[in-house]
């Protein structure tokens, strides 16, 4: 279902119960689609979710001459990059502001065409995610970059060359940029302090299937030996562990019981440990994970987000909603995005007791501690939440507001729900399937 309406009415107080399915990870699928640009033969990607980020990348690929069509199986895409071509600047610019993924087209387009154009970029406003570092990386590979009024124009007068790069922080986006550029660059690229999230490993699997030579060391170092040519790939995307955790938190906050088909234990172990400490229950089988509230009181916890294998920042916001129902004081220390706790002001309007702090309240100091950011929180619970008017600030914060509205007494009006389509496939249909009382004014759901 495509949702154009921007306001959702949520009638809270009903536990979410039933079964939903998560498909391929939002943080892998669009990047694997970009990787298809590097190949000399068609690629097949399975388990693709119907989300806005996928549609954006599909559009950008088609603008550059890549044929994209459905495969034989549901959720499969076949991408043929045989006739890659330059795209019209105005057409590319039409996608500007809807996603940050266009920045990852740079390396593949420089390899295929010798040039690339990147418009201004959007994405969720949860803290600084500077793109300057992406361009600096590309310069180190040998790209020439010219800043223009409508974006950045890049050229590769000669074949890009491997280089040594050390990330100041293990950024997922910067790691993806290096991988997608290094695989066809001449010589060896050594990336230190790389991100090692499961989605990064899955992207490496995709590139290896295409013919890339990539080695991962235990010290966050990735070495890429450039090759002259890559082929296509056939790959099934790993499931979205971030969406699975969001539904798990929804089960906890609403005192519900949700079976998340497709969820996998291995990539969620850190989350599952924390879920159990809070008092949530789960049961794992070969097809998915069942999450439920077992009754009784929930436990307050101390929680610190971190890069993988730590507690993921995208897990934090939905779980904080559940922690408003825990007994005692929970302490949250956000170390990945400096502005990610801003969403809690709306929870306070609903009756939560959440205080933000500039100090590092976790077990260690972090890079935000001396920079005046409200990046720690103390959640006092349990508190009864009341329906309210809510404006969605970002993707995970938006889903968290839905959880809060579903757990609250009374009716909430949630504005800006289209943003949730960026990363949650058919989320309204899933809410209805789980018994959530939601309605789009003037439309029938389910």
DSSP state of 41: S
Q: Is 367 within any annotated ligand binding site? A: no
d(CA 397, CA 402): 9
Question: What is the Cα–Cα distance from 181 to 185, expressed in whole angstroms?
Answer: 7
* Residues whose CB falls within 8 Å of the CB of residue 141, separated by 6 or more in sequence, listed in order: 107, 160, 161, 162, 163, 181, 182, 185, 189
Q: Would the CA dihedral through 268, 270, 271, 274 be positive or negative?
A: positive
Is residue 106 annotated as part of the catalytic site, yes or no? no
H helical segments located in 266-331: 269-278, 313-323
In this structure, the number of other CB atoms found within 10 A of the CB of residue 386 comes to 15
- Among 124, 205, 360, 366, the active-site one is 124
Structure tokens at 367: 């890079």
What is the DSSP secondary structure assignment for residue 406, as one 8-state letter?
H
The answer to whether 430 is a known ligand-binding residue is no
Torsions phi, psi for 152 (to 5 deg): -115, 130
Burial (Cβ within 10 Å: 0-12, 13-18, ≥19) of residue 295: exposed
Which class for 252: exposed (0-12), middle (13-18), buried (19 or more C-beta within 10 A)? buried
Q: Is 161 annotated as a binding residue?
A: no
Q: 3-state class of 170 per DSSP?
A: coil
User: Is residue 331 a contact partner of residue 378, using CB atoms and an 8 Å limit?
Assistant: yes
Say whether 147 counts as a known binding-site residue. Answer: no
Identify the three-state secondary structure at position 397. helix
User: Is residue 27 part of an annotated ligand binding site?
Assistant: yes
Question: Residues at the annotated binding site for UDP-N-acetyl-alpha-D-glucosamine?
Answer: 100, 314, 336
Active site (catalytic) residues: 124
The binding site consists of 26-27, 100, 314, 336
């Amino acid at each position: 279902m495509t949702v154009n309406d921007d306001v959702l009415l949520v009638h809270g107080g009903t536990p979410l119960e039933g079964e939903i399915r998560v498909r391929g990870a939002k943080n892998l699928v669009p990047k694997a689609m970009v990787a298809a640009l590097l190949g000399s033969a068609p690629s097949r990607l399975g388990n693709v979710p119907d989300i806005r980020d996928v549609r954006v990348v599909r559009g950008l690929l088609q603008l550059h001459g890549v044929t994209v069509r459905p495969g034989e199986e549901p959720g499969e895409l076949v991408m043929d990059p045989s006739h890659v071509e330059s795209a019209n600047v105005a057409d590319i610019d039409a996608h500007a502001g809807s996603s940050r993924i266009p920045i990852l087209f740079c390396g593949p387009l420089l390899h295929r065409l010798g040039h690339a154009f990147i418009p201004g970029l959007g994405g969720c406003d949860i803290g600084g995610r500077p793109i300057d570092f992406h361009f600096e990386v590309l310069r180190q590979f040998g790209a020439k970059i010219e800043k223009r009024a409508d974006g950045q124009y890049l050229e590769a007068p000669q074949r890009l060359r491997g280089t040594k790069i050390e990330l100041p922080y293990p950024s997922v986006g910067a790691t993806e940029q290096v991988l997608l550029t290094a695989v066809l660059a001449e010589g060896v690229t050594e990336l230190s302090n790389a991100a090692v999230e499961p989605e990064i490993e899955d992207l490496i699997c995709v590139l290896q299937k295409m013919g890339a030579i990539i080695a991962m060391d235990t010290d966050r170092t990735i070495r890429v030996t450039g090759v002259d040519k890559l082929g296509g790939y056939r790959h099934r995307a790993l499931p979205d562990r971030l969406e699975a955790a969001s539904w798990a938190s929804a089960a906890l906050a609403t005192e519900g019981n949700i079976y998340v088909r497709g969820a996998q234990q291995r990539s969620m172990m850190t989350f599952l440990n924390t879920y159990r400490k809070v008092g949530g229950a789960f049961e794992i089988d070969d097809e998915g994970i069942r999450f439920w509230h077992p009754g009784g009181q929930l436990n307050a916890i101390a929680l610190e987000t971190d890069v993988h294998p730590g507690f993921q920042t995208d897990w934090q916001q939905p779980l904080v909603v559940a922690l408003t129902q825990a007994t005692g004081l929970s302490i949250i220390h956000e170390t990945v995005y400096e502005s990610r706790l801003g969403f809690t002001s709306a929870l306070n309007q609903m009756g939560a007791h959440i205080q933000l702090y500039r100090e590092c309240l976790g077990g260690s100091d972090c890079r935000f501690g001396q920079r005046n950011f409200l990046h720690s929180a103390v959640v006092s619970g349990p508190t009864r939440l009341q329906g309210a008017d809510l404006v969605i600030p970002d993707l995970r914060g938006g889903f968290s507001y839905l959880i809060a509205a579903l757990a609250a007494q009374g009716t909430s009006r949630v504005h800006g729900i289209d943003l949730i389509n960026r990363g949650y496939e058919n989320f309204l249909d899933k809410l209805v399937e789980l018994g959530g009382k939601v309605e789009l004014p003037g439309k029938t759901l389910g």
